[in-house]
Amino acid sequence: MKLIIKWAPILWVPFMLILLIGLQGCDLNDPFKGTPFGRNPPREAGQLQLVEAYPEGGLTDVPITSSFRLKFNRSVDQASVKGGIALQPSIALVIEQGADSTEWIVKPVNQLSPDRVYTLQITTSIKDTAGNNLPRPVDLRFRTAYQSQARFGRPIWTTDGNYIFFSASFDGGDSWHLWRTPRWGGWKQRVADRVVPFSEVAISPDGRRVAFARLDNNGKSAEVWLCSSDGFNLRQMVDSEELSGPLNIKCAWAPGNDRLALEMWYGTGGTGQDDVTALGVMALDGALLRRIGGANQTYRLLGWSRDGRDVVGLRSPGTADASNLIRYEFINWDLSTGSAAAIEVDATVVNFSGAAQSRDYSSVTFWNWRPVRTPQGNIERVASELWVYRLGGNSVSRLAPTALGNRQGGFSPNGDEVVFNSNRSGEWLIWKVERGGGNLRQVTKGTGSDILPGWSPLNSEIAFISTRGGEEALWVAGADGANPRRVAGRE
pLDDT digits (tens, 9 = 90+) for 95-139: 999 889 999 999 999 888 877 889 999 999 999 999 999 999 999
- The pLDDT > 90 percentage for the chain reads 62
Same-domain pairing of 16 and 65: no
Question: Which residues have a Cβ under 8 Å from the Cβ of 240 and sit 6 or more positions away?
Answer: 216, 220, 221, 222, 223, 246
Same-domain pairing of 3 and 75: no
pLDDT digits (tens, 9 = 90+) for 165-181: 999 999 888 899 999 99
The neighbouring-strand residues paired with 364 are 357, 389
> Domain boundary at 127, 143, 159, which?
143
Q: Into how many domains does the chain fold?
A: 2
CB 150 within 8 A of CB 488: no
Residue 22: its H or E element: helix 2-23
Same-domain pairing of 70 and 103: yes
Same-domain pairing of 56 and 138: yes
Q: What is the CATH number of the domain that holds 132?
A: 2.60.40.3710
239 occurs within a structural domain: no
Least confident of 32-46, 195-209, 308-322, 396-410: 32-46
> Domain boundary at 91, 110, 143, which?
143
Note the pLDDT of residue 323: 65
Note the pLDDT of residue 349: 86
Region 204-233: mean pLDDT is: 96
Least confident of 193-207, 266-280, 346-360, 474-488: 266-280
Please state, rounded to an integer, the average pLDDT across all residues of the chain: 86
pLDDT at position 402 over 50 = yes
- Annotate 253-303 with three-state secondary structure: ECCCCCEEEEEEEEEECCCCECEEEEEEEEECCCCEEEEEECCCCEEEEEE
Same-domain pairing of 37 and 103: no
pLDDT at position 460 over 90 = yes
Same-domain pairing of 84 and 14: no
Note the pLDDT of residue 333: 97
Give exposure, 229-249, as e/b (b: 16+ Cβ within 10 Å).
Answer: bebeeeeebbebeebebbbbb
- In whole angstroms, give the CA distance from residue 248 to residue 243: 11
Same-domain pairing of 60 and 130: yes
Distance of CA 292 to the CA centre of its chain: 27
Note the pLDDT of residue 384: 78
Distance of CA 55 to the CA centre of its chain: 16
Same-domain pairing of 92 and 124: yes
Same-domain pairing of 32 and 55: no
29 occurs within a structural domain: yes
38 occurs within a structural domain: yes
CB 137 within 8 A of CB 57: no
Same-domain pairing of 102 and 132: yes
Distance of CA 65 to the CA centre of its chain: 22
Task: Report in angstroms the alpha-carbon separations of 62 from 32, 59, 142, 342.
Answer: 41, 7, 7, 37
398 occurs within a structural domain: no
What pLDDT band is residue 225 in, cutting at 50, 70 and 90?
very high
135 occurs within a structural domain: yes
Cα dihedral sign, 326-329-333-338: negative
Same-domain pairing of 26 and 77: no
> Domain boundary at 94, 124, 143, which?
143
83 occurs within a structural domain: yes
412 occurs within a structural domain: no
pLDDT digits (tens, 9 = 90+) for 7-54: 444 544 444 444 444 444 444 444 434 443 344 444 444 689 998 888
Note the pLDDT of residue 450: 93
Give the residue, 254 or 91, on which the prediction is more confident. Answer: 254
Range of the domain at 11: 1-42
What pLDDT band is residue 226 in, cutting at 50, 70 and 90?
very high
pLDDT digits (tens, 9 = 90+) for 333-364: 999 999 999 999 988 788 899 999 999 999 99
Give the CA radius of gyration of the chain: 28
Note the pLDDT of residue 38: 44
What pLDDT band is residue 271 in, cutting at 50, 70 and 90?
low
CB 435 within 8 A of CB 429: no
20 occurs within a structural domain: yes
Give the residue, 395 or 446, on which the prediction is more confident. Answer: 395
For the chain, the distance separating the N- and C-terminal CA atoms, rounded to the nearest angstrom, is 93
